[in-house]
Amino acid sequence: MATREDIINRCQALYDDLDFTAAREWKDAKEGRHVIGFMPMYVPREIIHAAGMLPLGILGGGDSLEVIQGDAYYQSYICRIPRSTIELLLTDRLDFVDGMLFPSICDVIRNLSGMWKLLRPDVYSHYFDVPQNYLKDVGGEFYIHELNVLKEDLEKIGSITVTDEDLKNSIAVYNENRRLTRELYKFRSDKPWLAPSSEIYLVNRAGMLIPVEDHNQLISDYIEAASAEDRPKRDNSRVVISGSFCEQPPLNLIKSIEMSGCYVVDDDYMLVNRWFTKEVPTDCPPLQALSYTFLDASVKMPSCFEPNEDIKGLFLVDTVKENNAEGVIFAATSFCDPALLERPILQDVLNDADIPHISFKYAENTGQMQPIREQAGTFADSIKLWS
């Protein structure tokens, strides 16, 4: 069995590889394989999988990609992920990708979908809309239609037919992936000293880059290997990270938070792998199952409208309680409208529940960790002092 170190080294190598070698190799291993990229937030990876294709999460260029051409495409006041994603495109790092999905997360990603069409008119790209109306016969029906459009588009790309059986099998595999991801999160929450956040992050991140079956195995192996180890337990404060759902913080930032005395016991990095809070049923028409589960059991996040004001923001209080957390760190990307506009509401909700919080902004290439370390360290100390 692989050691924890082996597993993390593999995940780190995947994370560092901006040429997406693993996905390229997967594609080249068999004639007729296709890779479909997607930007952060939810896309129905089950449909891509059912079409025999590899869903590939494109999460920007991180802190090691030098953005040269991307800067000519964006004005100064904007987050960094679209710039670095354009850089990935223009430097041919995504030349093997057969299609791109742009989920409805914000205006930046929305407009990026159009830029893709202009820059690569010959490659499939699709703005993938999800419903903001949660009634089954309204948003649900619309969404089934959108899912079907995607399915048909992929069928065209692959010259294949995707059957209901294919879809049900894929739903089952992703149900397993979500179950394991939740288990991974629970493992960290129960024993954060055995599962540093940077490792959990890397294990999750690997799931954006490799086939889901492989990822399922990887999560199981990691939990098994990490549980068997004995690592020193520190007197850290338990915190939840909120606002990092799109442009990802650099790994160093994730490490810095922990090094400053915080155990991260929940976060919203890469929500796509935990989007559904319950299993997608496999005993009804599959697109309907995906649609209705989206309506009923999606995670709460700023890009989705919350129809019920009474529960607005309470998900954060709930996760703090469920994970015995002692505070929340709002870590949002600079210029991120969804995260930053939502923040005052969430802060009010936390204040009402007497939950301490701090906030800072980052970019995927933030290099200076000292201020963040100091802020998080002071927060951790104050939690210890006052709790």
Partner 1 sequence: MSAPLRKPSTDVQKDASMAKQKAMIDGNFDRLGNVKNTGEKVSYTFVPGNLNELIMCFDMVGNYPEINAIQNGLRKKSGGMIMEAEKWGHSEDVCTYVKADVGMMRKGNIGPTGQPIPEPDILMLSYTGCYTFLKWFELLRHDYKCETAMLHVPYTGDGEITDAMVQYVVKQLKEEVIPKYEKISGVKFDIDRLRENLAHSAKAEDDFVWVLESAKNKPSPIDAYFGGIYYIGPIFTAFRGTDLAVDYYKTLRAEIEQRIANGQGPITPEGEMKNEKYRIVTEGPPNYTSMREFWKMFYDEGAVVVASTYTKVGGTYDFGFRHDPSRPLESLAEYCMHCYTNRNLPERTRMLESYINDYEADGLLINSIKSCNSFAAGELMMMREVEKRTGKPAAFVETDLVDPRYFSAANVKNRLESYFQMIDQKRRAGV
Q: Which residues bind ligand SF4 (CB under 6 A)?
A: 79, 81-82, 105-106, 108-109, 246-247, 333, 336-339
Please choose, from the candidates 17, 45, 155, 81, the residue with its C-alpha nearest in 3D space to the C-alpha of residue 366. 81
CB 349 within 8 A of CB 312: yes
Choose among partner 1, ligand SF4, none what residue 104 binds, the Cβ cut-off being 5 to 8 Å by kind: partner 1
Report how many residues bind partner 1 under the rule CB under 8 A: 59
Length of the chain: 387
Determine whether 352 is exposed, middle or buried from the number of CB atoms within 10 Å of its CB (0-12, 13-18, 19+). exposed
Q: Which of 52, 277, 361, 375 binds partner 1 (CB under 8 A)?
A: 361
Choose among ligand SF4, partner 1, none what residue 246 binds, the Cβ cut-off being 5 to 8 Å by kind: ligand SF4
Choose among ligand SF4, partner 1, none what residue 26 binds, the Cβ cut-off being 5 to 8 Å by kind: none
Least distance between partner 1 and beta carbon 306 (Å): 7
Least distance between partner 1 and beta carbon 376 (Å): 19
Contacting partner 1 within 84-113 (CB under 8 A): 102, 104, 106-108, 110-113
Please choose, from the candidates 224, 242, 184, the residue with its C-alpha nearest in 3D space to the C-alpha of residue 361. 242
Contacting partner 1 within 108-167 (CB under 8 A): 108, 110-115, 117-119, 126-129, 131-133, 135, 137-139, 141-142, 145-146
Q: Rg of the chain over CA atoms, in angstroms?
A: 20
Q: Which of 17, 24, 73, 298 binds partner 1 (CB under 8 A)?
A: 73
**44 contributes a contact to partner 1 by CB under 8 A:** no
Least distance between partner 1 and beta carbon 241 (Å): 17
What one-letter code names the amino acid at 157? Answer: I
Nearest to ligand SF4 of 123, 340 (CB atom): 340
Write out the two tokens for 294. 């989206």
Least distance between ligand SF4 and beta carbon 107 (Å): 7
Distance CA 242, CA 252 (A): 17
Contacts of 366 (CB under 8 A, 6+ apart): 63, 249, 250, 253, 372
Nearest to partner 1 of 227, 351 (CB atom): 351
Write out the two tokens for 262. 């915080």
Distance CA 264, CA 254 (A): 9
DSSP secondary-structure letter at 117?
Answer: H
Least distance between partner 1 and beta carbon 249 (Å): 16
Distance CA 354, CA 336 (A): 26
Nearest to partner 1 of 72, 228 (CB atom): 72
Choose among ligand SF4, partner 1, none what residue 147 binds, the Cβ cut-off being 5 to 8 Å by kind: none
Q: What are the beta bridge partners of residue 37?
A: 56, 100
Least distance between ligand SF4 and beta carbon 247 (Å): 4
Distance CA 87, CA 94 (A): 10
Contacts of 356 (CB under 8 A, 6+ apart): 326, 327, 328, 350, 379, 382, 383, 386
Mask for 331-350, x = binds partner 1 (CB under 8 A): -x-xxxxx-xxxxxx-xx--
By three-state DSSP, how is residue 203 classified? helix
Which residue ranges make up the site for partner 1 (CB under 8 A)?
72-78, 82, 102, 104, 106-108, 110-115, 117-119, 126-129, 131-133, 135, 137-139, 141-142, 145-146, 302-303, 305-307, 309, 312, 332, 334-338, 340-345, 347-348, 361
